[in-house]
Amino acid sequence: MTTKLFGEPVRRREDARLITGRGRYLDDLGRGALAAAFVRSPHAHARILDVDVSAALDVEGLVAIYTWEDLPGALAEPLPLLIPHPALTHGRTAHPLAREIVRHVGEPVVMVVARDRYLAEDACALIRVDYEILKPVVGIEEAVRGVHLVHEDVPGNVGAHLVQEVPGHGGVTAREAVEAAPHRLEFRLDVERSACTPLEGKGVYARWDADDGSLRVYSSTQTSTSVRMAIAAKLGLPLPKVEVIAPDVGGGFGVKIVHPWPEEILVPWAARLLNREVKWAEDRREHFVSSSHERGQVQHVRVGFDDDGRVLGLEVEILHDHGAYTPYGIIVPIITSTQLLGPYKVGAYRVEFSSIYTNTVQVTPYRGAGRPQGVFCMERTMDKIAAYLGRDRTEVRAANFIQPDEFPYDQGLTFQDGRPLIYDSGDYPEALRMLKELIGWDSFAQEKARAAAEGRRIGIGVGCYVEGTGVGPYEGGHVHVTSDGRVHVSTGLTSQGQGHETVFAQIAATELGVPIEKVSVVTGDTRRFGYAVGTFASRAAVMSGNAIALACRKVREKALRIAAEALEADPRDLEITDGTVHVAGVPSASIPLATVAVLSNPLRYAFDEEAKRATQFAGPASDDRPPVAEGEEPGLEGRDYYSPVRSTFAAGMHAAIVETDPDTAEIRILRYAVVHDCGKLINPMIVEGQIHGGVAQGVGGALYEKMVYDEHGQLLNASFMDFLMPYATEVPRIETAHLETPSPLNPLGIKGAGEAGVIPVSAVIASAVEDAEGIAIDRMPISPSDLHHLRLER
């Protein structure tokens, strides 16, 4: 039996409970807890004049009603601005409950606690809030005019403004390079607002232990450690008295990384105040109007290039719609502006963005986090250059690729983590070769001609991306081998369905040489691991995976040392397979890892057979040495952290063939191909699953998903009936091929894989629709009616 599981398509260990209904998602917990519900603003911009709760007081089962006035101390202050940046000159965050002014429909104004959710909603419906309606600012155009302000003290609605410039050869500016180039193009590209929309909304459940003065909170979060710190700070509790647990989480995609959400501190606060268990589980409409959105950006591009399509200068101006608040800083436009360059070297680059406030839901990262916009921008640019020169689109791309021998490659920019944007490894020409073969790029022209002869319109599209993954600062891992031979692994970051339990167990089993059945993994539970950052930016495998591997190596070293003593062997001659330490080549000289765990602890009550057996190996006791030697610890345990110098850069390329209906303008994806490089694969099945899910979300972004606000700031499609997400009928089969260029930056050679699938899809579909129709596609998503109108304008 092999214990080398790294790289194998090991089946998921989380499935056993999830397929039988034994998952424990947030709302599955706390049966009988009181329920919280919120009165949320029906207006996009308004002053609160009065809150009248009198009618609600008669509701049977009502327990409490709170407004901003009721909030004590730090709870009454604005929520934290999590990632400040010098360019964010006017960062603004909301109060947990609105104070005086509401700035988007859905902002929480009053919190109600009642016996159950039905009754809490009854009470909400009876609470009268008087508003003085203020002029709402909706849409980027309206916002940049700056006539009406979202925040009175933010002139022009500009929250942040940032320029990054990389000069070309001889120090030429991008402007100069564009001007001097043999060819120039200038155009505008738009991407609409969408949202993560996990199937499970957010939720919080809190239990106060009055005797112990401690709080246990369960949250459907992507970062339990940070929620814990936020709760302790906002409620004035000692950190060790607060525990936060992320149970099974029904998808996150970014929205659950924001912390604390108002409810994450209000619910625990109410639980303590009332000395009762309190729970809030978000409903779908609440999610649409009060959880974050993303993607809304306008981009102006000027590009200069030579006859081969090589980019000599690129200037991009981005207007980013930030919504009403900036709790997550300006991460999204920073990522767009830096990741836009993808696998290409551009001669000189200048990017400038303004982050603009509007009276709409706040914007924070959604899977891909600013990259789909950046890739849309760059890939449309490549297509436009190809069209202008009458060249093959893949040829133009290849002319701009960073070559395999040029790594590490410094793009000269500062990345989202504040570090230089240096690509670690990759092989873009090979990836393109694989993709062209997979989709049949070179034979497509004939296929297209054949289709045209039948009156059918088909088109092919391509899109490339590089994705910074595994951002720091760190993650940790703890590994404990108990005397029954079981291996208990924990890490602080959370899981929202990515299969972390399985891949982390694979890593531990491989590193320690134990069967995977012996390994258990806990994620996102601050009782088990207190220091962590969280699950976002395709960082879990890179960060926690490496931390766990390092912790395992510590444990392994100690195990070998102890075993060597017991076996009277040299530790260098020992190996561990199948949970047993043995002398290489001498199968008879061996000792089970379980026994080593017993030996590691000088307190040896014979609770179990292992302990009894272990005594025979116990070394001679020495009267002048303490039982636990200096520098030693009892037990077979290890903890380590992985903290990278910089991000790893995964890459990939997608291609699609679409068919557009000549009459109805319906767009159908006939084929979809992905070449993906995330370094070493831990579990190819899981990586492929990540790609499938990502592409499905990308198809949503390309063809359907769009938050439709009217001029009053009302979200017109705040339901699954109206906000369209793809069903099985809309997502094509995805053909995948993997390329592995290991990352030199971490011990396992891995890069992140979580977001890749989603990133280039809009660019690819735009490219394909353009090819089918011969009409420039400059905004996404594109619906049949959009395409129909474009046809009319032609």
Residue from 72, 147, 627, 720 binding other proteins (CB under 8 A): 720
CB-nearer residue toward other proteins: 498 or 647: 498
Asked if 19 touches ligand FES (CB under 6 A), the answer is no
Edge-first strand listing for the sheet containing 46-52:
101-102, 46-52, 128-133
Residue from 25, 187, 617, 704 binding other proteins (CB under 8 A): 25
Residue from 38, 66, 205, 253 binding other proteins (CB under 8 A): 253
- Binding residues for other proteins, total number by CB under 8 A: 57
Q: Which does 357 bind (CB under 5 to 8 A by kind): other proteins, ligand FES, none?
A: none
CB-nearer residue toward other proteins: 177 or 686: 686
CB-nearer residue toward other proteins: 193 or 380: 193
CB-nearer residue toward other proteins: 583 or 655: 655
The C-alpha atoms of residue 547 and residue 60 are separated, in whole angstroms, by 52
The C-alpha atoms of residue 100 and residue 118 are separated, in whole angstroms, by 28
DSSP H helical ranges for 513-629: 540, 546-567, 593-599, 609-614
CB-nearer residue toward other proteins: 344 or 672: 672
The C-alpha atoms of residue 501 and residue 492 are separated, in whole angstroms, by 12
Query: End-to-end CA distance of the chain, in Å?
Result: 65
CB-nearer residue toward other proteins: 20 or 616: 20
CB-nearer residue toward ligand FES: 605 or 727: 727
Nearest to 303 by CA among 394, 387, 382: 382
Bond from prior residue into 260 cis (ω within 30 degrees of 0): yes
Residue from 242, 246, 567, 734 binding other proteins (CB under 8 A): 734
Asked if 22 touches other proteins (CB under 8 A), the answer is yes
CB-nearer residue toward ligand FES: 497 or 752: 497
Q: Parallel, antiparallel, or unpaired for β 580-583 and 420-423?
A: unpaired
- The residue range among 257-265, 413-421, 729-737, 743-751 that interacts with other proteins, by the rule CB under 8 A, is 729-737
Nearest to 206 by CA among 116, 113, 282, 280: 280
CB-nearer residue toward ligand FES: 283 or 632: 283
Helix axis angle, 684-703 relative to 761-773, nearest 10°? Answer: 50
Burial 78-96 (b: 16+ CB within 10 A, else e): ebbbbbebebbebbbbbbb
CB-nearer residue toward ligand FES: 733 or 789: 733
Strand runs labelled E in 306-403? 311-323, 348-357
CB-nearer residue toward ligand FES: 133 or 199: 199
If one counts every other C-beta atom within 10 angstroms of the C-beta of residue 509, the result is: 25
Q: Which does 622 bind (CB under 5 to 8 A by kind): other proteins, ligand FES, none?
A: none
The C-alpha atoms of residue 414 and residue 418 are separated, in whole angstroms, by 6
Q: Specify whether the CB–CB gap between 374 and 335 falls below 8 A.
A: yes
The C-alpha atoms of residue 646 and residue 643 are separated, in whole angstroms, by 9
Q: Least distance in Å: CB of 519 to ligand FES?
A: 23
Asked if 497 touches ligand FES (CB under 6 A), the answer is yes
Residue from 52, 58, 141, 186 binding other proteins (CB under 8 A): 58
CB-nearer residue toward ligand FES: 67 or 496: 496
- The residue range among 172-180, 249-257, 385-393, 422-430 that interacts with other proteins, by the rule CB under 8 A, is 249-257
Q: Which does 208 bind (CB under 5 to 8 A by kind): other proteins, ligand FES, none?
A: none
Q: Parallel, antiparallel, or unpaired for β 183-191 and 409-414?
A: unpaired
Which residues are paired to 165 by β-bridges? Answer: 350
Q: Which of residues 231-250 bind ligand FES (CB under 6 A)?
A: 250
The C-alpha atoms of residue 49 and residue 45 are separated, in whole angstroms, by 13
Number of DSSP helices (H) and strands (E) in the chain, helices first: 20, 29
- Residue span 658-687 as binding mask against other proteins, x where in contact by CB under 8 A, dash where not: ---------------------------xx-
Task: Give Cβ neighbours of residue 535 (< 8 Å, ≥ 6 apart).
Answer: 222, 223, 252, 257, 493, 494, 495, 496, 498, 500, 524
CB-nearer residue toward ligand FES: 381 or 523: 523
Asked if 212 touches other proteins (CB under 8 A), the answer is no
Asked if 18 touches other proteins (CB under 8 A), the answer is yes
CB-nearer residue toward ligand FES: 55 or 199: 199
Q: Least distance in Å: CB of 370 to ligand FES?
A: 23
- Residue span 108-147 as binding mask against other proteins, x where in contact by CB under 8 A, dash where not: --------x-x---x-------------------------
Burial 348-372 (b: 16+ CB within 10 A, else e): bbbbbbbbbbbbbbbbbbbbbbbbb
The C-alpha atoms of residue 202 and residue 179 are separated, in whole angstroms, by 50
Nearest to 161 by CA among 353, 302, 339, 336: 353
Asked if 719 touches other proteins (CB under 8 A), the answer is yes
- Residue span 279-318 as binding mask against other proteins, x where in contact by CB under 8 A, dash where not: ----xx----------------------------------
Nearest to 497 by CA among 386, 621, 388, 367: 367
Q: Least distance in Å: CB of 681 to ligand FES?
A: 21
The C-alpha atoms of residue 694 and residue 422 are separated, in whole angstroms, by 25
CB-nearer residue toward other proteins: 607 or 720: 720
Asked if 57 touches ligand FES (CB under 6 A), the answer is no
- Residue span 484-523 as binding mask against other proteins, x where in contact by CB under 8 A, dash where not: ------------xxxx------------------------
Radius of gyration (C-alpha) of the chain in whole angstroms? 28
Helix axis angle, 262-274 relative to 224-235, nearest 10°? Answer: 50
Asked if 477 touches ligand FES (CB under 6 A), the answer is no
CB-nearer residue toward ligand FES: 12 or 216: 12
Residue from 19, 125, 199, 586 binding ligand FES (CB under 6 A): 199
CB-nearer residue toward other proteins: 133 or 199: 199
Cα-to-chain-centroid distance, residue 192: 19
Residue from 727, 792, 793, 794 binding other proteins (CB under 8 A): 727
Which pair of tokens denotes residue 302? 């000027």
Q: Least distance in Å: CB of 720 to other proteins?
A: 4
- Residue span 440-479 as binding mask against other proteins, x where in contact by CB under 8 A, dash where not: ----------------------------------------
Asked if 23 touches other proteins (CB under 8 A), the answer is yes
**In Å, what is the CA distance from 620 to each residue of 483, 599, 616, 629?**
21, 12, 10, 14
Residue nearest to ligand FES (CB): 199
Residue 762, sorted as left (phi over 0), alpha (psi -120 to 50) or beta, turns out to be alpha
Nearest to 261 by CA among 202, 331, 326: 202
Residue from 201, 251, 499, 698 binding ligand FES (CB under 6 A): 251
Nearest to 401 by CA among 464, 348, 349, 343: 343
- The residue range among 11-19, 144-152, 293-301, 651-659 that interacts with other proteins, by the rule CB under 8 A, is 11-19
Q: Specify whether the CB–CB gap between 641 and 545 falls below 8 A.
A: no
Q: Which does 433 bind (CB under 5 to 8 A by kind): ligand FES, other proteins, none?
A: none
Which residues are at the interface with other proteins (CB under 8 A)?
A: 11-12, 14-16, 18-25, 27-28, 31, 58-60, 116, 118, 122, 197-200, 248-251, 253, 283-284, 496-499, 685-686, 688-689, 692-697, 719-721, 725, 727-729, 731, 733-734
Which residues are at the interface with ligand FES (CB under 6 A)?
A: 199, 250-251, 497
